[in-house]
Each structure stands twice: as structure tokens, then as C-alpha cells.
Amino acid sequence: MRIAVCLKRVPDTTTKIVIGSDGKSIDENGVKFVANPYDEYAIEAALALKEKAGAGETVVYSLGTDAAQETMRTALAMGIDRAVLLQGGGSPDGLEVAKALAAELKSGGFDLILFGKMAVDDYNHQVGVMTAELLELPCISAISHLAIEGGTVTAEREVEGGVEVVTCALPAVLTTDKGINTPRLPSLKGIMAAKKKPFELKPVTLGAGGLTVTGLTLPPERKAGRIVGEGPDAVSTLVQLLRNEAKVI
């Protein structure tokens, strides 16, 4: 089984956001960057599927700057066989990202192309699905359960108030949600092995795109609240405030 995983380097989720001097992006000073958490589920799914199949190849792709190499090494340390970095920076327009990835993945002969359902930085929620459309492959997005039998994918995805059971044939594009698996940690042996795995760098040029970021701001601060009281005796006061002041019950 040949599986591609697409990975994005993003700020760690514990990052306190500071707006950069351009007023459109974050100040990256002192920010710790990690693999997008949703992409780690995709990596784990790829590794587990290859192990189950007993043969095949897993390849991690990323579009970004050279700094993404370090993040991709983590994927190699987890067990991915080789890496391809598309050196093209990034774009706020997910379609431009999808075009670059689709052009690269088109001739890869993959049975499965995996993405995280979204990146925790731009919250775009679209590159995997768009890549599938460009490649004219079936796509199931945001899956929290996956089974593959005889070339057929059966996946589950959370919807409002329920769980959809969805099927498609291979080859396919899937995007992973939390809950699908628990990503393994790289072993020391894996970290050593990662240093010797093939790592390809390919310059790409992204189109201008149709989406322009004109500003980035911090959300308005919440008004300072108050401690109503201590212990169960404060409950009556709270309920009265919710009813008469906040008017939410």
C-alpha cells in the first residue's frame, strides 16, 4: 500500500498570539513550531495501515519554508519512509496550496492520500478536500474512524448530533479528525533512523490566489467578571444574576 501524508508546520497550540509588525500575521519571535496535531493522526493512520498491509511505502509531503524540514523529520522519526518538501512558502488561499500539492501527488501512484482535517493556525479546513477535487479522487473529510477492506474505505465522521458512516473506493483522499487514533511518539531508534531517510527538496511557485489577508487583530478582551462568592451558599446569588442581570435562563 502506497500512502502519502501531507503535513503542515504550525505554532504550538499553547502559543500566546502576538500580532506581527505587518498587522497581518503573527510575530513568530519565540514561537515554538510543531507538526499540526490533526496531521499527526494522518501520520499514525498511514503507519498503522502500512504495518497491517505488511508492505508498501509512506511518504510525507509539506509545502512551506525550509524550516518545515525539522517538523518533517518528526514524521520520519515516527516511521514515515521518506519526505518531500515543496519549497514554496505558503498562501492564505487554500486552493493555491491544493494546486501545488495536487500537481506533485498526481503522478505518485498513491492508494491513499491523507491530510489532517484542518490546520490549527489558519483554520482553513479545505486543502485536503480541494486537493481531492483537483485530482478527481473520492474524498471523505474529518474522519474519526477508518476501516479498509478489499479496496473499499469505510469511515465515520462526526456530524451535528450523530455520526455519518461513509464509504468510497481506493484510491482516495481522507482527512483525519481527533479520535481516530493515538499518534505514536518517535522512538530513539526512529530518531536516529530518520537522519538517513531520503529527503527531497523541490522548489515550487504558488499562484497569487483569490484571497487577500488585510489584517490580523486580537479579539476584544472580555470585560472583567466577578467572583459571586464561595461555596454552595453563593449558588442562589448566581442563579438570580443569571436570571435578572444576564437574562440567560
Partner 1 sequence: MAQILAVLEQRQGTLRKVSLEVLAAARTLADQLGGGATVDGLVFGTGAVEGTAALGKAGADRVLLAAHPDFGLYNPDGFAATTASIGGSYAVIVFPATASGRDLAPRVAAKLGVACATDVTEVGVEGGKVSAVRPVYAGKALQRVVLGGAPAVLSIRPNTFAVAQAADRADAATAALDVPSFTQRVTVKEVKAPAQSTLDVAEASIIVSGGRGLKEPGNFKLIEELAAAFGTAAVGASRAVVDAGWREHAAQVGQTGKTVAPSLYVAVGISGAIQHLAGMRTSKVIVAINKDKDAPIFKVADYGIVGDLFEIVPRLTEEIKKIRAEH
Stretch that binds partner 1, among 43-51, 73-81, 105-113, 139-147 (CB under 8 A): 139-147
Buried b (16+ CB within 10 A) or exposed e, 49-60: bbeeeeebbbbb
Cβ proximity to partner 1: between 198 and 229 the closer is 229
CB of 163 to partner 1, least distance (A): 5
**Residue 23 to residues 27, 142, 177, 215: CA-CA distances in angstroms?**
9, 32, 31, 6
Cβ proximity to partner 1: between 150 and 210 the closer is 210
Cβ proximity to partner 1: between 58 and 115 the closer is 115
Q: What residues from 34 to 63 belong to the interface with partner 1 (CB under 8 A)?
A: 37-38
Neighbours of 63 (CB within 10 A): 27
Neighbours of 172 (CB within 10 A): 23
* Contacting residue, 30, 150, 162, 203, with partner 1 by CB under 8 A: 162
Cβ proximity to partner 1: between 57 and 133 the closer is 133
Q: What residues from 93 to 122 belong to the interface with partner 1 (CB under 8 A)?
A: 93-95, 98, 120-122
Q: What residues from 68 to 97 belong to the interface with partner 1 (CB under 8 A)?
A: 92-95
Task: Cis check for the bond before 171: say yes or no (omega within 30 of 0).
Answer: yes
Of the chain, the end-to-end C-alpha distance in Å amounts to 55
